[in-house]
Structure 1
Amino acid sequence: MTEEFNESMINDIKEGDKITGEVQSLEDKQVIVHVNGGKFNGIIPISQLSTHHIDNPSDAVNVGDEIEAYVTKVELDDENETGAYILSKRQLETEKSYDYLQEKLDSNETIEAKVTEVVKGGLVVDVGQRGFIPASLISTDFIEDFSHFDGQVLELKVEELDPENNRVILSRKAVQEVENAKKKDQLLQSLTEGDVIEGKVARLTNFGAFIDIGGVDGLVHVSELAHEHVKTPEDVVAIGDDVKVKIKSIDKDSERISLSIKDTLPSPFESIRGEFNEGDIIEGKVVRLTSFGAFVEIKAGVQGLVHISEISHKHIGTPGEVLEAGDIVSVKVLGVDVENERISLSIKATLPNEDVVESDDETTKSYLDTSDDEEDNPTLGDVFGDKLKDFKF
């Protein structure tokens, strides 16, 4: 009879089978289940009720619930011809979870999961089993304290699955990167040259400051930080500063944006109206030399041109024969045009000479009247020289 009993059990429900049943009762450390089509009841130990730690069976199931589970063992009592199925609901949940996560990984789709624990190396989330978000994959931004994520439901991408080692790695950063790319594209399409917008200083280099204007960084070259000469960007701005910038140019294909802080500031020329007049003799500092003359700063942000013919009574081939950047010189004001931000100056008119020659009125008039597209007007190369070679992202 015992052999017949054992044989009937083997042909009935065996280890590894998936069963369905109804929860009959909840005990302290286990759940009793009526197994559909089975000869005996099933027992689910509390450790096999859920993929997450629970303190009481009622945290996972209730009496009357219809459940599915795997049979992990069949216990037989040959003497009394009774037995029990040892079941695992956790094993089935884990299997279903891996199937679901693999599908999302293959299709590159996102999932939502709740953060159940904040640990030193990242976040633990509920994905039908224990999933983990390493600190490096939590955000595109640096985050020092993760505690505020506890209890939050996050949108995530599956990064790695390893069922054999119960390893599920997820990424919030990957989702943010896709969102940021969309926002960047929308922002680039909405920007127009000449727009004045708000931004935040993101980082500084020796050639300028990068400004975050809403997910896209634009460059303010050092020459565009202020009207006056700026030696280093740190002299004018600091990381985190909120600034107003004007868009000078946009290359949407390469995502390069040239910005200016200087163009949003009042012109220093407005402050000199009536301060400098024709015939005044003042001191200034030579700030740069060009082939056609020297630019002399007579007030912060205000520069005038000493044409090469106004540098010396003697004929010179280049301004560099007489002057160097940084020289302090006396200059005579030959003309002022505040509207066009032009000042014509003369050094030789302040110097003694036995054979005094009158200032070249035609040269002065030419400079003050020159429009922006004429050859005598200083080019960006004249103004910034070698600095332009560093203009890059």
Structure 2
Amino acid sequence: MTEETVETSFEALLAASEPAQPTRRRAKWRIGATVRGQIVALDHEQLFVDVGAKTEAVMERANVTDADGQLTVAVGDPIEAVITSIDSGGRLTLGSRHSRHLHGQAELQDAYQQQLPVEGMVTAAVKGGLEVQIAGQRGFCPASQVDVRFVDDLTTLLNQRLSFLITKLETGRQLNVVVSRRALLEREQAARAVETRTRLAVGAVFSGRVTALRDFGAFVDLGGIEGLVHVSELAFGRVRHPSEILTLDQEVEVVVLRIDAGSDAKHADKIALSLRALTRDPWQDAEVNYPTGTITNGQVVRMEAFGAFIELAPGIEGMMHISEMGAKQRINHPNAVLTIGETVTARVLNIDPQRRRIALTRVNETGDTDAAVTNETAPASANKRPLRQANKPAPAAAPDPALGSFGELLRSQMNKRQSGGA
């Protein structure tokens, strides 16, 4: 075989092998496909990702920055993203794996038809909803479609880059684009809920995210399914409002207390959760911390006609009877000597951990107790006349001398008349 023949054969083999590789690669590069790669470089506007294509794919920095504008990735990190466009040279443009950063009206149409998530910037809060810029086009998101829960103040979303689904797209003299963030969130929730339900059971512990705070409790997303932590299940101590201990989007650990099945498909299951069940009950140590005779300080948290409730520690309350308030005067109600929120010094009279009860008496600065004078404990002479002894007749009243003389005279005259008649 001559040298010329060898060279020709090699060129033929090389030519035959070249088309195969690009064809194999092009087959998997399509708009909307999810790809995985590694970040190989960064600049002030974009990052470059090796996904196995002929050239590195590019992605805008905005896709990988947090709310403060800080990068959440670094060179060498793996990344998963969605192909948002492919130029004529085959270079890929990537976007968030949850949405697409579009570059034209044609891709808007494609995203609408395939119901792919798109990315837009909230530019204004207008009557009835939000104005959103998507691929250089103005879109509108109705207020009812902004979130799975009603958003009271839409201005809190201004200048945020969010993901949406296009629910209406009308072409003509002016493009009409209507989007929904709620539809996308509900779709993502449904996907997560499938996995969550496999683990959902009474006693199961979940890591969740606080999604809403109400007067009666806090809603927590367990992963596509929400549960409610009633205000009484937030902590052992008194909590007036969930915002005292929780914030929106806070990550918390909760346990499932109860699952009430919904009556039909339109009514979701009601899931009762608890934070405090995962903490130690303070009454388990109450007998050690507050034995009989202990002098301690506490705060007045509630008053009734019979006494006042004193919080000694979060979750631990004692009751000071009205007769143990040391006022040295008659007391008709505890508010005569105490106020809500006041700090008092008290001595433990007795403790019953099983019934969660602690009896207290107030002590003065020297540590002595001064029993109060109440309607229950005051001497009889201080409140009313002494009662007569039972079954003992009342002494007869002394006769009036004048009345007695008149009676004797009348009796004498009657006797005389009777004698004369006889």
TM range (shorter): 0.3 to 0.5
* Rg (Cα) greater in structure: 2
TM-score of the aligned structures, taking structure 1 as reference length: 0.47
- State the structure with bigger RCO (CA 8 A, min sep 6), 1 or 2: 1
